[in-house]
Amino acid sequence: MTTRRHARLALDGGRPVRATLLPYARQQISDEDVAAVAAALRSDWLTTGPGVPRFEASLAAATGARHAVAFSSGTAALHGAMVAAGLGPGDEAITTPLTFVATANAVLYAGAEVRFADVDAGNLLIDPAKVVAALTPRTRAIVAVDYAGHPADYESLRRAAGRAPGGPLTIIADASHSLGAVRDGRHVGTMADMTTLSFHPAKLLTTGEGGAVLTDQDDLAACLRRFRNHGIATELAARMDWTYAMVELGYNYRLTDIGAALGSSQLARLDEFLARRRDLAVSYAANLAGHRYLDLPTVEAGTNPAWHFLFVQLRLDRLTVDRGGVYRALRAEGIGVNVHYIPVHQHPFYRERYPGSAFPVVDAAYDRLLTLPLFAGMTSADVGDVVAALDKVTRAYGTD
């Protein structure tokens, strides 16, 4: 037992840093958003109307991509991207284990198999050298994830793809966290062959449920548009009679005009949201740099991340409890910390499908990971509360 004096933890009956829980993420809804949704509800079109192409055009303009194809969720967008990449039975796609399960699941939806490649220890992004090691004659795609809003190293991934024994690969970016980020002068949406977005309320902007794929390639965009609409050929959509032609098996993965109206309204404030998130990340970094019990993420030179969230890695060698202990103590203090993510290969389904998988860097990082609250509506005082709670809890559990 420590005899050092410190504030009693809320977990042990002490006074919590905050009386109400600060969530790790929260949507930012304005009166304009409400008005835009109300107008959509009063319009002739709740779905398949003009709101969706209008949102797509704004997304393309905001990102510099030639095409944006809206989907009913980020997961549906990923499924579309895998199919548009031509993935099918007998094929493999390489992805990171440190992502939401949807990234890997989408590969399986297409009938292909997943190969995981380990991550870099500092930024936790897929490691291009590990991608090279995972290439096989069956590899058809690399699916990188811009973890926490930091774009992956697409230039190196492109070079890795050039060494694929089975011929050219499609590079897909899961940019669910990184809309608006820049790396080496390139914007998210222009670094990969296809870039997928999620508009879930926890993400950078929201349509309720929703997603999109960005691409510069006309043939991929046409394939994505068919796929989200039952596989019906879009060229016939303008015909003024009852005929249409279903030319391949697709799905109903359409975004509604209600969601698109919210998305367009939100997109008008994207720069404001990003500026706020970046300010909060700077504030966290200023307060936590050199912290005895925490390692902060590294940011590559020439990169401006979108900061979907801020993760830290606990110095477990200096703490008397594990990550679960710190997590529970912070929650009791009113800080809604989270963990992103349980590595995909550690889930029961994936353990059974790919037995014996181990990825030393991500497995070690996972045990130390904590996500700190970060969303556009957070105040500087909220950051102060998180820092105060981190100090309180790590001091209480520190080995010295």
Ligand X SMILES: *Cc1c(COP(=O)(O)O)cnc(C)c1O
Q: Which residues bind ligand X (CB under 6 A)?
A: 73-75, 99-100, 102-103, 145, 174, 176-177, 198, 200, 211
Q: Which residues pair with 186 in a beta bridge?
A: 183
Phi, psi angles (nearest 5°) of residue 22: -85, 115
The least distance separating ligand X from the CB of residue 211, rounded to whole angstroms, comes to: 5
Is residue 217 within 8 A of residue 172, CB to CB? The reply is no
Nearer to ligand X, 98 or 135 (CB): 98
The least distance separating ligand X from the CB of residue 17, rounded to whole angstroms, comes to: 28
User: CA–CA separation, 238 vs 250, rounded Å?
Assistant: 19
Residues 130, 187, 203, 225: which is the catalytic one? 203
The least distance separating ligand X from the CB of residue 186, rounded to whole angstroms, comes to: 20
Structure tokens at 126: 């897929």
Is residue 114 within 8 A of residue 92, CB to CB? The reply is yes
Nearer to ligand X, 74 or 180 (CB): 74
Nearer to ligand X, 255 or 332 (CB): 255
> Would you call 145 exposed, middle or buried from its count of C-beta atoms within 10 A (0-12, 13-18, 19+)?
buried
Structure tokens at 200: 């879930």
The least distance separating ligand X from the CB of residue 230, rounded to whole angstroms, comes to: 20
Nearer to ligand X, 151 or 211 (CB): 211
The least distance separating ligand X from the CB of residue 103, rounded to whole angstroms, comes to: 5
Residue for token digits 């989200």? Answer: 228
The least distance separating ligand X from the CB of residue 202, rounded to whole angstroms, comes to: 7
Q: How many residues does the chain have?
A: 400
The least distance separating ligand X from the CB of residue 105, rounded to whole angstroms, comes to: 9
User: CA–CA separation, 204 vs 166, rounded Å?
Assistant: 36
Structure tokens at 211: 């997603």
Nearer to ligand X, 17 or 370 (CB): 370
CB nearest ligand X: which residue?
74
To the query of whether residue 203 is one of the catalytic residues in this protein, the response is yes
Question: Radius of gyration (Cα) for the chain, nearest Å?
Answer: 22
The least distance separating ligand X from the CB of residue 79, rounded to whole angstroms, comes to: 10
User: CA–CA separation, 326 vs 303, rounded Å?
Assistant: 30
Is residue 334 within 8 A of residue 393, CB to CB? The reply is no
**H/E run at residue 61:** helix 51-63
Write the CA distances from 44 to 14, 32, 48, 49, 248, integer angstroms: 57, 20, 10, 8, 30
By C-alpha distance, which of 200, 207, 251, 243 is closest to 227? 251
Nearer to ligand X, 74 or 80 (CB): 74
By C-alpha distance, which of 96, 102, 106, 101 is closest to 130? 96
Q: Which residues pair with 313 in a beta bridge?
A: 295, 369
Nearer to ligand X, 266 or 283 (CB): 266
By C-alpha distance, which of 259, 368, 196, 293 is closest to 41? 259
Pairing between β-strand 170-174 and β-strand 194-198 as defined by DSSP bridges: parallel
Nearer to ligand X, 103 or 215 (CB): 103
Residues with catalytic function? 203
